[in-house]
Structure 1
Amino acid sequence: MTAKLLPTYLVQRFHGWRATAWQDNKAWYKRLATGGQHPRAMVISCCDSRVHVTSIFGADEGEFFIHRNIAALVPPFTDDGNHHGTSAALEYAVTALKVAHVVVLAHSNCGGVKGCHDMCSGHAPALEEKSSFVGRWMDILRPGYERVIHLPQDEQVDALEKQAVLVSLENLMSFPFVRAAVEAEELTLHGLWTSIGEGSLEQYDAERGLFVPV
């Protein structure tokens, strides 16, 4: 094993949290520990360190079941039995936790989406390698790339960020347990895009076929 002890600044932050937030709310934390989790929503967001889901929605512990991956993508359903972290998290949220909402949250200036655009346009050969985990993950977004290549070059990446949401929403419905819950009106799906710099939030309006400000 090569694991080492935490850096000092993280240790100090932990002790600060325990002496303040935890100490002031320890009865609540103990209730969470013994009562289990009952989140109303699952949020699938990007790994990007600038996107802080609980801060955006002012959420407390226990409110959201959060799964993060590169570019907040949902792969299409498969039953090949291989390791699928996002699919496993989705299955648990829908079938075990019985969440009422699944939210896909994409964001501006996404490095994963930019990498996908570079790869699909032939400018990122390293991502084309079969050994590239990022590249093979971003293959999920190739259908979205095909939908934006008709746009002016300087608009394609921004448009692809929102296509990441739409591709994920489409793929969500390929999971039998998601489709069944949606059709039974036990689950609703939501697509969001946030601008990091502007602090704005847009949601996908399926009836109008576009993203609108929240």
Structure 2
Amino acid sequence: MAESFPAFLLDGYRSFMAGPYVEERDRYRNLAENGQHPTTMVIACCDSRSAPETIFDCGPGQLFVMRNVANLVPPFGPDAAYHGTSSAIEFAVIHLEVEHIVVMGHGRCGGIAGALATAAGHAPEGDFIGNWLTMIKDVAGKVEANSLMTQTEQQTALERIVIRQSLGNLLTFPFVKERVDAGRLSLHGAWFDISTGELWTMNGDSGDFIRPD
């Protein structure tokens, strides 16, 4: 606990204060005085290579971001002991009244690779990741069992299928479904390819992923 704070973070902070903060000083003060009012929540993976604020070029106060391993949304379950993701969804929808929720997955996701490895009988070590990934064990098993697909194809397929599953789980939250049915909230899926920078968005009717114009 006595070790020095990472130097590169302090250097980054100094650069932030000398540049972006100076340019956005009024916005930060306004956010501090009047609170946040983002219109969009993004549920993304905690992978360091796929930061929503960077990908969508958003500044402070524009996105309410929840990140977890493999961008998973659990089904509605208020009796669960701990639900960081569910509490963030509740806060965004009920208190911030966001108009959009985007579930964004990405290529080469380690969590998805772990789910496929578990389905093949090689569960990742640790006390928490494996249990977290049980939410997608059934669909991971079906994808892993498809011998007509290469490992890369299985990976990409499961990354996108999990996005659709998370969107479906969002609708198990009564306060989400109520607002969706009333036209006050819309749900979206997106997939980001780290290697090429391509963004694919999900068609809400077909579930297919397409490149936007």
TM over 0.5: yes
1:59-74 matched pairs, under 5 angstroms: 59-74=58-73
Cα distance, 1:46 vs. partner? Answer: 0.4
Rounded Cα–Cα distance in structure 1 between residues aligned with 2:184 and 2:93: 10
Which ranges of structure 1 fall in alignment gaps of 5 or more residues? none
Runs of 4+ in 1 over 4 A off after TM superposition: none
Which ranges of structure 2 fall in alignment gaps of 5 or more residues? none
Rounded Cα–Cα distance in structure 2 between residues aligned with 1:13 and 1:111: 27
Give CA deviations for 1:51-73 in whole Å, capped at 9, x if unaligned.
02112111111110000000100
Provide TM-score, normalisation by structure 2. 0.92
Cα distance, 1:24 vs. partner? Answer: 2.7
Cα distance, 1:23 vs. partner? Answer: 2.0
1:28 partner letter: R
Cα distance, 1:176 vs. partner? Answer: 0.8
Cα distance, 1:143 vs. partner? Answer: 3.2
SS in 2 for 1:62: coil
Matched, 1:86 2:81: no
Cα distance, 1:96 vs. partner? Answer: 0.3
Equivalent residue pairs, number: 209
Matched, 1:145 2:140: yes
SS in 2 for 1:208: coil
Do the aligned residues in 1 keep the contact of 2:164 with 2:207 (CA within 8 Å)?
A: no
Cα distance, 1:174 vs. partner? Answer: 0.7
Q: What corresponds to 1:49 in structure 2? A: 48
Do the aligned residues in 2 keep the contact of 1:51 with 1:196 (CA within 8 Å)?
A: yes
Matched, 1:132 2:127: yes
Q: What corresponds to 1:193 in structure 2? A: 191
Q: What corresponds to 2:111 in structure 1? A: 112
Q: What corresponds to 1:164 in structure 2? A: 162
SS in 2 for 1:16: helix
Do the aligned residues in 1 keep the contact of 2:42 with 2:64 (CA within 8 Å)?
A: yes
Do the aligned residues in 1 keep the contact of 2:116 with 2:141 (CA within 8 Å)?
A: no
Pair 123,99 (structure 1): closer, same or farther in 2 beyond 3 Å: same
Rounded Cα–Cα distance in structure 2 between residues aligned with 1:146 and 1:41: 33
Cα distance, 1:213 vs. partner? Answer: 1.1
Q: What corresponds to 1:184 in structure 2? A: 182
2:139 partner letter: G
144-153 or 159-168, which deviates more? 144-153
Rounded Cα–Cα distance in structure 2 between residues aligned with 1:78 and 1:104: 19
Do the aligned residues in 2 keep the contact of 1:144 with 1:167 (CA within 8 Å)?
A: no
Do the aligned residues in 1 keep the contact of 2:190 with 2:201 (CA within 8 Å)?
A: yes
SS in 2 for 1:67: strand
Sequence identity of aligned pairs in percent? 39
2:135 partner letter: I
Do the aligned residues in 1 keep the contact of 2:115 with 2:133 (CA within 8 Å)?
A: yes
108-117 or 55-64, which deviates more? 55-64
Rounded Cα–Cα distance in structure 1 between residues aligned with 2:18 and 2:203: 44
Q: What corresponds to 1:95 in structure 2? A: 94
Pair 168,60 (structure 1): closer, same or farther in 2 beyond 3 Å: same
SS in 1 for 2:22: helix
